[in-house]
Amino acid sequence: MDNASIAELLIREAETAEGHREKAFRRAAHAAFMWPVEASDLASAGRSVTELPGIGPSLGRRLHEWLEKPPPDLKPPPLRREFLTLAKARKVLEKNSGFGQQLKGDLQMHTEWSDGASSIAEMAAGAVERNYRYIAITDHTKGLQIAGGMDEKRLAKQGREIVALNKKLAKQGSDFTVLRSAEMNLSPDGEGDMDPEAMEELDLVLGCFHSALRRTEDQTDRYLAGLRNPIIQILGHPQTRIYNRREGLHCDWSRVFAEAVRLDKAVEIDGDPSRQDLRVSLLKLAKKEGVRISLGTDAHHPEELAYMELSLAAAQLAKISPERIINFLPVEELKAWAAGVRARAQN
């Protein structure tokens, strides 16, 4: 029984528990996705599963019971299906270590400028520790006020901070680059919430849907409109799913991916454990269509840059060609691709 199965059992327990027990089960279920080792391997080695985050003595005894006699039905419902664990991701990446070594940067993260917990410099320092060559700072735009979205004036001010930081890094002899970017809010009609001229100053723009996310009817037209928005180069967390909370939108993904190919735009694998969006089965379809892929952690703190392992493993499981992953490009080639997409969209 792997950690994903344990997370499923913990969530089921939470659904029937109350008070602090419910919270404990839910916290442990979410923590299970980032456990560095399989709980079963830990138990087999004679160690206590209480070494794992979120597992105290009481939950530890329950886990040992499950490991000794696994329940028969462990298949999760659609709300919780196709979510990788860190332990599984690492086993996938170990099979082809050269794949992850091609990674040059992380193309989605947030800072104090919107709903992140850290500064731009702190996120950059965390990325340097991971031997990255660049990151994209993609704070939210003004349409998402609940996440502290930036208006055009604040976006420009943030840009000046990024320019100053890049100059400082260059003086220190670093070849690391902070890209000016944003996660622009898209309406259900695919319209952005920012002045196009302000967005032209950026190196990259992600477009993301944040409203009307529980619609059950086909949303193909929404996706096509979003991709055709001339401001964006990347469609971020496309499914809009959230573990155990929202299944995500439905559409004709073949048509959507084909349109992304026609426009030479990328779709994202968001590595946040609760998102993991796109899921692997859709990534396989994206591969078939030949779509460019962008990898982002959606990190709100330097520690969350570790989510990249989930993005990389999903790409590897779907057998995405390295040539189609824009994070594998040198920074100047990445900028040139984005500039080309922008120029063609305006013609």
**pLDDT by residue (tens digit) across 22-76?**
999 999 999 999 999 999 999 999 999 999 999 999 999 999 999 999 998 889 9
* 295 neighbors 103 (Cβ within 8 angstroms): yes
The answer to whether 305 and 106 are in contact (CB under 8 A) is yes
**Is the model's pLDDT at 15 over the cut of 90?**
yes
As a whole number of angstroms, the distance between CA 38 and CA 85 comes to 9
**Cβ partners under 8 Å of residue 333, min gap 6:** none
pLDDT of residue 254: 97
- 75: Cα separation from own chain's centroid: 24
What is the per-residue pLDDT across 233-261, written as a single tens digit (0 to 9) for each? Answer: 999 999 999 999 999 999 999 999 999 99
pLDDT, tens digit (0-9, with 9 covering 90-100), for 124-177: 999 999 999 999 999 999 999 888 999 999 999 999 999 999 999 999 999 999
What mean pLDDT comes out for the span 179-205?
A: 96
Backbone dihedral angles phi then psi of residue 218, each to the nearest 5 degrees = -60, 135
Supply the pTM of this predicted model: 0.96
Q: Give the orientation angle of helix 19-32 with respect to helix 3-16, to 10 degrees.
A: 160
Give the mean pLDDT of the chain: 96
pLDDT bin (cut points 50, 70, 90) of residue 346 is confident
Residue 97 — very low, low, confident or very high, per pLDDT cuts 50/70/90?
A: confident
pLDDT at residue 334, rounded to an integer: 98
Predicted pLDDT of residue 335: 98
Average of pLDDT values for 75-97? 96
Q: How confident is the model at residue 347 (pLDDT cuts 50, 70, 90)?
A: confident
* Stronger pLDDT, 291 or 144, i.e. the higher one: 291
Cis peptide before 93 (omega within 30 of 0): no
Residue written as token pair 């792997």: 2
With contact defined as beta carbons under 8 Å apart, do 207 and 232 qualify?
yes
pLDDT band, residue 205 (cuts 50/70/90): very high
